Every structure is written in C-alpha cells, then in structure tokens.
C-alpha cells in the first residue's frame, strides 16, 4: 500500500523533508487569529481539527512560506563560515509553520476533501513547488552545503550528522543546485508544472471514480452476493442519499467482493469496465494528456540533471541502483507467476466445463471462478471467514504484536480533535509508561476520501533542541457497517491493516536527532520493508487463533478452518502477482523512454498493450492499475518508476521473517531488538542495505519470496493451483 505517506515527493529533494517537518515551538509574536499559525494547546500538540476551517489554509500558507524564505535567507547570508550547526542543523530547524500547515492540509485533502479544498490544492501545488525551487536553487545556500560536504571528513561529525550532511547535499544536487543559467530557470519551471499536473491527475482519478456507481435494482442484480456485500452496498446507498438502494462503487472494498461473488456476468463486466476506465473516458477527467506531459517533463528534468532517462534518475539513489536491476527482479518472479497463473487458469477452465460454460475466460470472470475453485477445493466460505475477523479484533491484534515485539502499548484517547467522527486516536507508550506518540486510525470509505490505504505523518519524531513525539495516521477504505453492527473484513484486508500499521510503527518508533532522516524518510525501495514484514504476523496461526474471534459467540477460529485458509493461501498467487508485475512493467517502461518525440506522440493504451504483449501476459488477466488512474506513478513521484519496490521489499520481508521462523519464535527477543534498532527506530541514519544486514546478518535471498508465494518454477505442479 502507498505511504502518503510517507507519501511525499522524494524526487524534489530529500532535504525538503526537513522543511516540511514540525520542528520546534513558534517564537513569541508569531501567533495570529489563524489556528494554523497559533501555538496548539491540544493534547500533545495535535492539530486542532475542530477549530481549523477551509479559509484558514491559504493565508497560513502565505505566512508560512514568507517566514520560511526569511529563515533560508538568514542561513544563506550568514557572514560566519559554514558549520554543521549554522547551516545543516539550521536547515533542519526551520519551516516549523510550513511543515504543520502542509501536513494538516494533506490529511484533509486525502481523507475529508471537498470542492473548496480541491480548489486550494490546485492553486497551491504549483506555488509550493515554486517555493521549494527558490530554496533548492539558492546558490548561496548550496555553496555553504557544498563547502561542508567537500570537507566532511575533517568536521568531526558523528555517524548521524554525517548521514544528514550527505543526504542534504544529495538532495540539493538532485534538485538541480549545480545547474547554471537557463538550465536552472527551466528546472524550476518544470518542477512547478509537474506539481500542478500531479494534483490534476489525482483529482481527476477521484472525480472519475466518484462519478461511477452501479445500483442493484432487483433480486436478479443481487444474485450470488453474500450478506456482507449486500450490507455494505446498502450502506453505500445510504451514504449517497439513496436510502434503501444497494450501490456498488469503485472503492476496492466494494469492487472486489462484487467481482468475486456476483453471478451476473454482465454486471461484473460493467463494473470491471468502470474500474479499468477510471481517468480514461474521454471526458473532463481524462488523464491521457496529463500522462504524456508528465512523462515529457520528467524526461527533460532527468536530462538536465545528467541522466539518460527518468528511470535512471529515479533509481540512482536506491537499493536497486538502476531500472534494469529492478526489471531483472520482476523478470525473475514473472517466470514463476506466469506458470502459476496458467495452472490456475487450467483449474478455472475445468470448472467452467463442468458447469457447461462455453464463453471465453475474461478478466471479469477470474475473481468469480477462482473463488469458486478455491471454495470447492478448500471448502471455504468468505462469510464464514469474515465472521471471525472484526476490525476491532484485528486492531487489538496489531497492537498486541507491537507490544510483544517492541514493548509499546496503545491506549484510546477521546480528547484529541479529529477531522471526522470515524477517526480514532490512541496514545502510544513505551515499556516504562512514557509517552511515545499518537496513532490515528481512519478505516472506513466515504465520499471525499481517496481510495486505497496509506500511512501519513501529522508530525515526525526528532530530538533537535527538544524531544518531539510523532503523530502518525493510518487510512483504509473498508465498508462501514450498519449502526450497531461490527465491521467484518477479509483476511487480506486484515493483512492490509497490519501493512499500514507497519509503516505506522516505522514513524512511531523513530529515534533519531534530525527530522530529515526520521521515520519513513528512507530509500524508497526500502520503505515498504517495515510494512510488509509486519504483515507476516497477521498470517501466523498463533495470532489468528488468539484474535480471530467470532463476532457473535466470541469463539476462536476453528483449527480446521485455519488449516484450510493456510492451504488456500496461494490459490490465486499467479493472478495476484501477474496483475501487480504487469503494472510495474508498464511503470518502468514509461520512464525508460529516452526520446521526447516518442512521448509527444504516445498513445497510452497502445503502449500498455505493447508492453504486456511483449511480456506475454495471460489474456484473461489485466494489469492491477492502468496508467490513467495509476496514482503511484503519476499523482506524485514517490513510486514513479518505482512500483517495483513492493516486490523488492517482498524479497526483504520474506527473507527477514524467515529469520524468526529459523529461530523458532516469532517474537524472538534478540531478533526483535535488531529489527527495532536497525530498521524501525533508525530512520535513514544508515544506508538501507547496511540496515538490513544489521538486522538479518547477511544480504537477502529471493528464495523465501518465491517459496512463500508458491512461485518457485522448479516446484510448480501444473495440475494444482496451490503449491
């Protein structure tokens, strides 16, 4: 899942993270009538969402940017010779106002937006990019940073300071600080336009998705749907002012269950077309031209900075190192995934023949028939499984695992302001009972909230001048139950909760001095590791047996059901991995184009088809995210030419969790301490591979990933869909 978290535009420059981080208390005289610019007297200095109004944001941005530029000018024009403290640490201390305005605004535009906030977002995106360019291209400021970097070995810096200096210098260089003349001006212009285009792309996707809904008017329309799907559809109808109607939307928590259980093939096709055509309907929300322009500008910027294409620029500062290395990993997994998908397809065809179905297998059939095959082979009923997975119990499980691994506890707070009644807040404490931070959870889908699941930081941890505790948020989009009913979720949705909480722990457990390297501010192909390894605990039998309790009886999940779930865990692994890798292939291919003339004439649909045909994707499987709605790739640059990172992290998380399996204890204290010290608490205080090796004792192997996903080509049984 995505980090918003964590979802910041890393390509602009790593040091920008520091500028958008809550740093210290405001100085006297900075207060105003605007709550965004006042000192917050809320518990733990949390954002006063109950006092913040839409009209507060633009004036707050104006004041905060002005103050930030004054701070930057004071650093750049300092008559004293540059030192770590008066230059690098000074950069880390500034932008207190701008950081919290930006983060508060981002929380609302992601989770509780409206037309007025969207309008502000469109106006401010380019202005904020221009503001950042003034800093990253400030010659006097960079001269001070560069002078320190050139003499860093003689500065007597500790390990963390040396890392901050190195990352700050790299951020300036990658933001164009070494460019001159017209090239500098052009880069600033590109950065500004890209910010505006990314905002437009994201808003188009949301509006396109919200513009689609499918009302199930008759019993025939609802055929095959289990009660949990119907209940969620009824709630979706009520949320949209259609009381008594059953409405299917393009939220994944609505889309996938309908595709899985509906016997109405025509409606499955209609919904699938709505899903795949988001942002690609030749209407006012069409994103094809935005994609072309974004790709052209990204290529031009990469060329200005000395790279042959955007992928080379994007991966140069990562664990992978090159786009080709990322492609090689995807190719290795693709071989096993295709073999597994063909085995799954053969099983589906057999079931279709048994039912007398003669039509061709298409993408809108795969969910439906693969679920029927899974249910038949493993005697599984999704309603039966969900009855043991209430949202509240899954949250209890994620907290309990964190306590057993890292000694932290979570206590509900009702006195912290939130932006929506659905948002819940917990105070996090360490083993001695001392405050660690606040954790916010926002788990239900609703109009005005973007789709997907993500982690974000309302404030990052640091110890610069004073200890500042983190404010970390998780967002998901599950179906809200009817009043008085528990929220029941699938096992995969429970794993997503653990995934995002893994990101959350990465922010909450951070223990560094400098904000620019705190929490999730790590190499972008390492950032998914702490989230993905945490998912493994949700799959462990001991965790399921303790926390998967029937919502009516309180009984634990029966051993027989648990064993069937484990046996079926890879039943759709071929499909799942193919649709993911297909999107990663296209993402990489777009950004490895070297000719701007090719991009200018690019037909997005034809390009996608060409990449997938070359990869020989099975015809009945579609890519997970088509480009016109591919937020990872085009709504920001965090995952641009970087969707592969989930697979890269998959190698790390499977290999890393194998260490606990080898120890014979999923809470092994020595391993948990290493995982905490080298990963969850360390931020970006050391290179990513060094951090991984510090935890694991060696570099990772792909073997556990292929084995755990049932994708080892040498062990695949072509007559079975589960290996």
Gap between the Cα atoms of 589 and 584, Å rounded: 8
Domain containing 249 equals 212-276
Q: What is the pLDDT of residue 482?
A: 85
pLDDT at position 377 is 85
Check pLDDT > 80 for residue 108.
yes
Helix axes 323-354, 645-663, angle to 10 degrees: 80
Annotated active-site residue in 382, 500, 535, 608: 500
Categorize the per-residue pLDDT at 606 as very low, low, confident or very high, splitting at 50, 70 and 90: very high
Residue 714: which pLDDT band, with cuts at 50, 70 and 90? Answer: low
> Does 244 fall in a domain?
yes
pLDDT digits (tens, 9 = 90+) for 134-173: 999 999 999 999 999 999 999 999 999 999 999 999 999 9
- Give tens-digit pLDDT for 405-456: 999 999 999 999 999 999 999 999 999 999 999 999 999 999 899 988 999 9
- The yes-or-no verdict on residue 26 having pLDDT over 50 is no
- On whether residue 258 sits in a domain, the answer given is yes
Do 301 and 133 touch, CB atoms closer than 8 A?
A: no
- Closest to 474 measured CA to CA, from 448, 498, 451, 501: 501
Is 308 marked active-site? no
User: What is the model's pLDDT at position 476?
Assistant: 97
Whether 219 shows a pLDDT value over 90: the answer reads yes
CA nearest 592: which of 611, 616, 579? 611
The confidence score (pLDDT) of residue 314 equals 95
Q: Quick: pLDDT tens for 508-544.
A: 999 999 999 999 999 988 999 999 999 999 999 999 9
Q: Is residue 686 part of a domain?
A: no
Residue 242 within a domain: yes
* Distance of alpha carbon 691 from alpha carbon 682, whole angstroms: 8
Q: How far apart are the first and last CA of the chain?
A: 26
Please indicate, yes or no, if residue 362 is contained in any of the structural domains. no
3 state SS for 16-68 = HHHHCCCCCCCCCCCCCCCHHHCCCCCHHHCCCCCCCCHHHHHHHHHHHHHHH
**What are 642-691's pLDDT values in tens digits?**
999 999 999 999 999 999 999 999 999 999 999 999 999 999 999 999 99
What is the number of domains present in the chain? 1
pLDDT at 14 over 70: no
In the numeric block, the tokens 């660690």 are attached to 436
Task: Specify whether the CB–CB gap between 625 and 508 falls below 8 A.
Answer: no
In a domain, 397, yes or no: no
Q: What is the mean pLDDT of residues 548-558?
A: 96
Is 266 a domain residue? yes
Position 177 in a domain: no
């Amino acid at each position: 899942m995505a980090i918003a978290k964590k979802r910041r535009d890393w390509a602009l420059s790593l040091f920008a993270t520091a500028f958008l981080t809550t740093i210290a208390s405001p100085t006297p005289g900075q207060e105003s009538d605007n709550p965004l610019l006042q000192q917050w007297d809320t518990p733990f200095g949390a954002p006063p969402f109950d006092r913040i109004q839409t009209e507060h944001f633009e004036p707050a941005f104006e004041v905060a940017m002005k103050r930030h530029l004054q701070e930057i000018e004071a650093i750049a024009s300092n008559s004293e010779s540059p030192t770590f403290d008066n230059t690098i640490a000074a950069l880390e201390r500034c932008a207190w106002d701008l950081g919290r305005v930006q983060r508060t605004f981002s929380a609302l535009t992601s989770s509780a937006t409206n037309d007025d906030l969207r309008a502000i977002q469109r106006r401010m995106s380019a202005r904020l990019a221009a503001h950042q360019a003034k800093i990253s291209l400030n010659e006097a400021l960079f001269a001070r940073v560069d002078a320190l970097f050139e003499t860093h070995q003689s500065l007597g810096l500790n390990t963390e300071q040396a890392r901050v200096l190195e990352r700050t210098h790299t951020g300036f260089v990658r933001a164009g600080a070494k460019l001159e003349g017209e090239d500098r001006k052009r880069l600033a212009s590109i950065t500004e336009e890209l910010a505006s285009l990314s905002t437009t792309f994201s808003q188009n996707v949301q509006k396109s998705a919200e513009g689609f809904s499918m009302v199930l008017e008759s019993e025939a329309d609802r055929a095959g749907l289990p009660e949990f799907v119907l209940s969620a559809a009824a709630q979706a109808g009520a949320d949209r002012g259609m009381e008594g109607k059953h409405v299917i939307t393009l939220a994944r928590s609505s889309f996938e269950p309908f595709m899985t259980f509906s016997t109405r093939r025509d409606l499955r096709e209609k919904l699938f077309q709505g899903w795949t055509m988001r942002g690609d309907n030749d209407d006012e929300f069409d994103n094809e031209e935005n994609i072309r322009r974004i790709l052209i500008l990204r290529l031009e910027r990469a060329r200005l900075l000395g790279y042959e294409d955007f992928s080379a620029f994007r991966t140069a500062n990562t664990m992978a190192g090159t786009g080709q290395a990322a492609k090689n990993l995807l190719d290795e997994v693709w071989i096993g995934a295709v073999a597994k998908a063909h085995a799954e397809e053969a099983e589906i065809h057999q079931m279709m023949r048994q039912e007398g179905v003669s039509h061709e297998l298409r993408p809108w059939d795969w969910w439906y028939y693969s679920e029927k095959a899974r249910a038949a082979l493993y005697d599984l009923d999704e309603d039966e499984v969900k009855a043991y997975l209430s949202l509240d119990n899954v949250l209890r499980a994620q907290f309990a695992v964190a306590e057993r691994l890292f000694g932290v506890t979570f206590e509900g707070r009702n006195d912290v302001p939130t932006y929506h009644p659905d948002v819940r807040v917990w105070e996090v404490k360490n083993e001695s009972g001392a405050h660690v931070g606040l954790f916010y959870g926002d788990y239900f889908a609703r109009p005005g909230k973007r789709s997907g699941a993500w982690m974000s930081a309302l404030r990052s941890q640091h110890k610069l001048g004073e200890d500042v505790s983190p404010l970390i948020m998780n967002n998901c989009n599950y179906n809200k139950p009817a009043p008085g009913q528990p929220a029941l979720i699938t096992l995969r949705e429970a794993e997503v909760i653990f995934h995002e909480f893994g990101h959350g722990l990465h922010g909450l457990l951070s223990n560094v001095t400098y904000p620019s390297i705190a929490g999730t501010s790590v190499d972008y192909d390492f950032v998914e590791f702490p989230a993905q390894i945490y998912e493994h605990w949700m799959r462990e039998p001991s965790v399921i047996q303790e926390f998967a309790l029937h919502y009516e009886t309180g009984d634990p999940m029966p051993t027989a059901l648990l064993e069937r779930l484990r046996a079926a865990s890879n039943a759709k692994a071929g499909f799942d991995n193919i649709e993911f890798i297909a999107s990663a292939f296209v993402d990489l291919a777009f950004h490895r184009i070297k000719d701007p003339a090719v991009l200018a004439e690019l037909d997005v649909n034809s390009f996608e088809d060409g990449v997938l045909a070359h990869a020989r994707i099975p015809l009945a499987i579609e890519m997970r995210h088509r480009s016109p709605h591919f937020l990872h790739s085009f709504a920001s640059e965090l995952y641009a030419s970087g969707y592969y990172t989930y697979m890269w992290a998959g190698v790390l998380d499977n290999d890393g969790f194998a260490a606990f399996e080898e120890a014979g204890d999923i809470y092994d204290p020595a391993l948990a301490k290493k995982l905490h010290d080298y990963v969850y608490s360390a931020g970006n205080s050391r290179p990513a591979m060094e951090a991984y090796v510090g935890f694991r004792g060696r570099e990772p192997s792909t073997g556990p990933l292929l084995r755990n996903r049932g994708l080892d080509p040498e062990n695949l049984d072509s007559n079975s869909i589960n290996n």
